[in-house]
């Protein structure tokens, strides 16, 4: 279902977030954003980076909470410097920390957030009931927020972030402090929201979460984007890289491979073999196996985990920076 805000339509072809040369320095020397350039299309995206990389600062700049020293940025086509209020009207933000009004009932809290986003009070209250049911807090909506568990608080923050039906959601560590069941539930919710035509930017340290719900990732390190792209593309292995599992003596087999120009990385404890074949394809592997009488159980193009991609990006970023 497309967003029916006809008075202020969103150009679906334009990036939902774009930044050019964003620079922000805390104090005199701590450079949190260092000429950051990024262009993010609609969809569900992961914002990755080590501690102090500039992820939270980037979100705060995009929300208009911090003014950059230099550069420009737009969110949903709105300038983050000049149209902060309009940006916030169309963006939902789920902060990392617990942020609730003490002793307030969950329903009132979510309804107030809707009210503050410009909804009429009756509509905000009705919508608060809906979203609290949606995040499975329907039974607890008349309870004070103070007594909520960590999982309930996370879902309450999500409800508050979506009460005004934003076009873009910033989720800061949404699965933080959740047990496996709660994490599973939160990821399901995020997945479904992204399928509801809401763009999402998830800032997290938990790479499996990103791999599960995000189609794209942006890796930030030392205030710069060091890698970005589709998760499927980033985790795809190099063209000549293969994973091999075999039955037989490893020594002669590895020797036969190396004599054919195949680069081998063998882990004897795990019994896994990763090879880099020459340009001719997998033929040398099959020949080596036939020659040494080794039985091949598995031969497939290798893939990289997101963690590997992340660590490589961080290292590249560090090298590039130095």
Partner 1 sequence: MAIHERLYSRLADPPRARGQSPALAISRYGARYATRGWFTKLVLFGSYAPALVFCFIIYLANQNPDQVPQAVSMLSQGQHVFDDVASITDEAWYRICGIMLWSLLSIQGWLALFLTPLVGAHQIADDLRSHAFEVYLARPISSWDYLFGKLLVVMRPVLQVMLVPTFLVMIMASAFLEGSFGACWTMFPRVLVAVLIWSLVNAMVILGISSMGKSSRYATIIWFVASFGTFLLSVLLGQTTGQPLFDLIGLQQNLYFVLWEFIEFQPFEIRELPVLDVQREVWPSVVILASLTTLSGWLVMRRIASGRLP
Per CB under 8 A, residues contacting partner 1 are: 1, 3-5, 7, 63-67, 84-86, 88-89, 91, 93, 95, 97-104, 108, 111-121, 123-124, 127, 130, 133-136, 160, 162, 164-165, 181-182, 185, 188-189, 192-193, 196-198
Burial of 289 (0-12, 13-18, 19+ CB in 10 A): buried
Least separation in angstroms between residue 285's CB and partner 1 is 43
Helix crossing, 150-162 with 180-195: angle to 10°? 10
Cβ nearer to partner 1, comparing 127 with 222: 127
Tokens at residue 236, please?
A: 């795809």
CA-to-CA distance for 159 and 94, rounded, in angstroms?
9
Cβ nearer to partner 1, comparing 52 with 118: 118
Cβ nearer to partner 1, comparing 181 with 322: 181
Cβ nearer to partner 1, comparing 30 with 67: 67
Neighbouring CB atoms inside 10 A of 79's CB total 14
Kindly give, in sequence order, each residue whose CB lies less than 8 Å from that of residue 144, ignoring residues fewer than 6 positions away.
103, 104, 105, 106
Cβ nearer to partner 1, comparing 86 with 316: 86
78 in Cβ contact with 166 (< 8 Å): no
Least separation in angstroms between residue 74's CB and partner 1 is 16
Kindly give, in sequence order, each residue whose CB lies less than 8 Å from that of residue 206, ignoring residues fewer than 6 positions away.
175
Least separation in angstroms between residue 219's CB and partner 1 is 24
Least separation in angstroms between residue 139's CB and partner 1 is 12
Cβ nearer to partner 1, comparing 176 with 241: 176
Question: What is the Rg, in whole angstroms, of the alpha carbon atoms belonging to the chain?
Answer: 24
Least separation in angstroms between residue 304's CB and partner 1 is 30
Exposed e or buried b per residue across 113-147, where buried means at least 16 C-beta atoms within 10 angstroms of its C-beta: bbbebebeeeebbebbeebbebbebeebbeebbee
Least separation in angstroms between residue 153's CB and partner 1 is 11
**Residue 69, helix vs strand vs coil:** coil
């Amino acid at each position: 279902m497309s967003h029916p805000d006809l008075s202020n339509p969103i150009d679906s072809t334009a990036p939902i977030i774009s930044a050019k040369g964003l620079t922000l320095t805390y104090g005199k020397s701590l450079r949190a954003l260092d000429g950051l350039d990024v262009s993010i299309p609609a969809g569900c995206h992961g914002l990755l980076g080590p501690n102090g990389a500039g992820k939270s600062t980037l979100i705060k700049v995009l929300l208009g909470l911090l003014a950059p020293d230099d550069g420009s940025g737009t969110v949903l086509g709105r300038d983050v410097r000049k149209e902060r209020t309009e940006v916030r009207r169309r963006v939902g933000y789920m902060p990392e920390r617990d942020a609730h009004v003490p002793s307030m009932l969950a329903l009132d809290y979510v309804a107030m957030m809707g009210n503050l986003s410009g909804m009429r009070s009756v509509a905000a209250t009705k919508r608060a009931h809906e979203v609290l049911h949606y995040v499975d807090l329907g039974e607890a909506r008349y309870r004070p927020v103070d007594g909520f568990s960590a999982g309930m608080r996370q879902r309450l923050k999500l409800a508050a972030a979506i009460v005004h039906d934003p076009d873009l959601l910033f989720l800061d560590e949404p699965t933080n402090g959740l047990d496996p069941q709660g994490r599973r539930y939160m990821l399901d919710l995020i997945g479904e929201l992204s399928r509801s035509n809401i763009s999402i930017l998830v800032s997290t340290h938990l790479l499996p979460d990103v791999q599960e719900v995000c189609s794209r990732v942006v890796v930030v390190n030392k205030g710069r984007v060091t890698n970005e792209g589709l998760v499927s593309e980033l985790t795809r292995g190099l063209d000549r890289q293969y994973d091999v599992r075999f039955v037989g003596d490893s020594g002669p087999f590895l020797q036969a491979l190396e004599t054919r120009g195949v680069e081998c990385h063998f882990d004897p404890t795990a019994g896994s073999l990763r090879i880099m074949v020459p340009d001719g394809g997998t033929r040398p592997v099959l020949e080596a196996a036939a020659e040494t009488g080794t039985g091949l159980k598995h031969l497939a193009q290798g893939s990289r985990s997101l963690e590997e991609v992340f660590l490589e990006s961080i290292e590249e970023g560090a090298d590039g920076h130095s």
